[in-house]
C-alpha cells in the first residue's frame, strides 16, 4: 500500500489495494479512488473546503516551536498530546512501533539507533535531590546571597523561586508564606529563610511543610523578606522601567504556580519584560500543560519529564526550585528553526491571516501557510538565542 505521507497534499490519489469483495476473488487487486482534500502539513487535519483549512490555521497558531513527532512530523499542542500520539490508547501504529525501539520516554525524541537511545536516556533521566541535603536544608536558617548587579559584575539572570505556606484564619485555610528559597541555574542556593507571617498561624501543616513553631519564632518578618526579594528580582531598577517596552535588567523568574507564590509573599513582579514575559512558569507553559489546557502538578512533570519523584512526605522548597529549574533548562535547550518574528501578536504578524487576505490564503499551499503561521506563546528556546 502506498504511504499516506505521499498523498498528503493530493486532491485525488489512487491506492492499489488487495481486498476481498463480493464480486472479486480474495486477493484480487482493486484500484480505489480516494479523495484527500485540503490537509494541513502540521496536524494532518483534513477539510472539505479550503476556506475551512484557512480558518483552522488562523486559530491553531501552528509553528516550528510546537512539540513534533520525530517519525511523521505531526505538530502537537503539548508534550502530553505528543505522548498520546506515540504511546497513548490510540496511537499511530507506525510511530508507536518506531518509538518503542528508538524513542526516549522522557523527552520523546527519536534517536538514530537503540544504542544511541541508551546513551541519550542515561543523560535524559536525572536523579533527585540528595535527601541528606534536604535534611540539612530543613535546619538551615537565614542564607542571604541576594545581590544587585552594579554594572560591572553580572550575577545570575535566571533564578528559580518556591515557597511553602502554613495555615491561618479560624478555618486554617488562609495560606501564609512561612519558608522561601531561591536558587540559580547551577542549583546553588541564593536565598533561603523561614518567614514570620503577619498574622497568627493556626496550622503549621507539619505533615507536608515540616515547619514547627520554633522555626518561625525568630524568623524574619514577611515585610522585610518581601522587600529584599523584590529588589533582587527587579535588579535594583524601578518598577516603571521594568514595565516599559524596553524592559530592563530584571531577572527571569522560574517557578511553578508563580502567581500564587508571589501573591503570598506580597511581591510585585510584572510578567512584562524585554522578551514579553519575565515569568517562566511550568504550570502555565503550553507544551507542559494537559491536552485539556489545564496545569499539570510539579510532581507529575518531574516524574514524567525528568525521571524521578519529588514531594514524597515533607516537601522542601529547594527540591521544588531544582525541579522547576531543570524543567526550564530542558525546554530552553530545545532546538527549533529560527524565525524573523516570534509571536502571532507581533505587529508584523497581525495581518498574516486577516480576513481581507482570505482569497490569497486559499491559494496558498499548506507549506506556505505554515511558513507564515506563528505561535501564540513565547517559546523558552528563545532565551538561549
On the question of pLDDT at 247 being above 90, the answer is: no
What is the rounded average pLDDT of the residues 171-184? 93
Per-residue confidence band for 275, with pLDDT thresholds at 50, 70 and 90:
very low
CA 1, CA 6: separation in Å to the nearest integer? 11
What is the rounded average pLDDT of the residues 176-198? 94
Choose the most confident range, by mean pLDDT, from 132-146, 180-194, 256-270.
180-194
- pTM metric for this prediction: 0.85
In this predicted structure, what is the pLDDT of residue 241?
A: 66
On the question of pLDDT at 163 being above 50, the answer is: yes
User: pLDDT per residue over 43-87, tens digit each?
Assistant: 999 998 999 999 999 999 999 999 999 999 999 999 999 999 999
Share of the chain above pLDDT 70, in %: 78
On the question of pLDDT at 257 being above 70, the answer is: yes
Q: Where are the domains of the chain?
A: 131-284+311-325
CA angle 96, 333, 78 (to 5 degrees): 45
On the question of pLDDT at 142 being above 50, the answer is: yes
User: pLDDT per residue over 281-319, tens digit each?
Assistant: 999 999 999 999 999 999 999 999 999 999 998 899 999
Which range among 4-8, 49-53, 101-105, 177-181 shows the weakest confidence by mean pLDDT?
4-8
Three-state DSSP string of the chain = CCCHHHHCCCCEEEEEEECCECCECCCCEEEEEEECCCECCCCCCECCCHHHHHHHHHHHCCCCCCCECCCCCCECCCHHHHHHHHHCCCCCHHHHHHHHHHECCCCCCECCCHHHHHHHHHHHCCCCCCHHHHHHHHCCCCEECCCCCCCCCCCCCEEEEEEEEEEECCCCCEEEEEEEEEECCCCCEEEEEEEECCCCEEECCHHHHCCCHHHHHCCEEHHHHHHHHHHHHHCCCCHHHHHCCCCCCCCEEEECCHHHHHHHHCCCCCCCCCCCCCEEECCCCHHHCCCCCCCCCHHHHHHHHHCCCCCCCCCCHHHHHHHHHHHHHHHHCCCCCCCCCCECCCHHHCCCCCHHHHHHHHCCCHHHHHHHCCECCCCHHHHHC
CATH number belonging to domain 131-284+311-325: 3.30.420.10
On the question of pLDDT at 274 being above 50, the answer is: no
In this predicted structure, what is the pLDDT of residue 248?
A: 64
Amino acid at each position: 500500500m502506498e504511504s499516506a505521507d505521499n498523498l498528503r497534499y493530493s486532491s485525488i490519489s489512487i491506492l492499489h489495494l488487495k481486498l476481498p469483495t463480493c464480486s472479486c476473488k480474495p486477493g484480487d487487486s482493486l484500484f480505489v479512488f480516494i479523495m484527500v482534500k485540503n490537509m494541513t502539513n502540521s496536524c494532518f487535519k483534513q477539510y472539505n473546503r479550503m476556506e475551512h483549512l484557512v480558518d483552522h490555521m488562523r486559530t491553531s497558531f501552528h509553528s516550528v516551536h510546537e512539540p513534533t513527532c520525530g517519525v511523521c512530523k505531526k505538530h502537537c499542542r503539548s508534550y502530553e498530546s505528543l505522548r498520546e500520539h506515540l504511546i497513548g490508547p490510540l496511537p499511530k501504529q507506525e510511530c508507536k512501533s518506531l518509538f518503542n525501539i528508538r524513542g526516549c520516554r522522557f523527552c520523546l525524541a527519536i534517536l538514530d539507533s537503540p544504542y544511541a537511545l541508551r546513551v541519550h536516556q542515561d543523560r535524559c533521566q536525572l536523579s533527585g535531590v540528595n535527601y541528606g541535603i534536604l535534611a540539612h536544608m530543613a535546619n538551615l536558617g537565614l542564607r542571604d546571597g541576594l545581590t544587585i548587579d552594579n554594572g560591572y559584575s553580572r550575577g545570575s539572570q535566571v533564578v528559580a523561586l518556591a515557597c511553602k505556606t502554613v495555615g491561618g484564619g479560624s478555618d486554617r485555610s488562609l495560606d501564609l508564606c512561612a519558608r522561601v528559597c531561591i536558587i540559580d541555574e547551577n542549583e546553588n542556593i541564593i536565598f533561603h529563610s523561614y518567614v514570620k507571617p503577619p498574622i497568627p498561624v493556626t496550622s503549621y501543616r507539619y505533615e507536608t511543610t515540616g515547619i514547627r513553631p520554633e522555626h518561625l519564632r525568630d524568623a524574619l518578618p514577611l515585610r522585610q523578606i518581601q522587600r529584599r526579594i523584590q529588589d533582587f528580582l527587579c535588579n535594583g531598577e524601578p518598577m516603571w522601567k521594568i514595565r516599559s517596552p524596553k524592559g530592563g535588567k530584571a531577572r527571569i523568574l522560574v517557578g511553578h504556580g508563580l502567581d500564587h507564590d508571589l501573591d503570598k509573599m506580597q511581591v510585585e513582579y510584572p510578567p512584562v519584560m524585554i522578551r514579553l514575559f519575565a515569568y517562566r512558569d511550568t504550570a502555565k507553559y503550553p507544551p507542559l500543560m494537559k491536552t485539556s489546557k489545564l496545569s499539570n502538578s510539579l510532581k507529575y512533570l518531574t516524574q514524567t519529564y525528568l525521571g524521578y519523584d519529588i514531594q514524597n512526605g515533607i516537601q522542601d522548597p529547594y527540591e521544588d526550585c531544582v525541579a522547576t529549574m531543570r524543567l526550564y533548562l530542558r525546554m530552553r535547550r530545545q532546538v527549533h528553526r529560527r524565525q524573523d518574528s516570534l509571536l502571532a501578536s507581533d505587529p508584523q504578524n497581525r495581518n498574516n491571516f486577516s480576513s481581507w487576505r482570505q482569497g490569497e490564503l486559499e491559494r496558498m499551499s499548506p507549506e506556505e501557510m505554515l511558513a507564515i503561521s506563528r505561535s501564540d506563546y513565547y517559546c523558552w528556546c528563545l532565551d538561549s538565542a
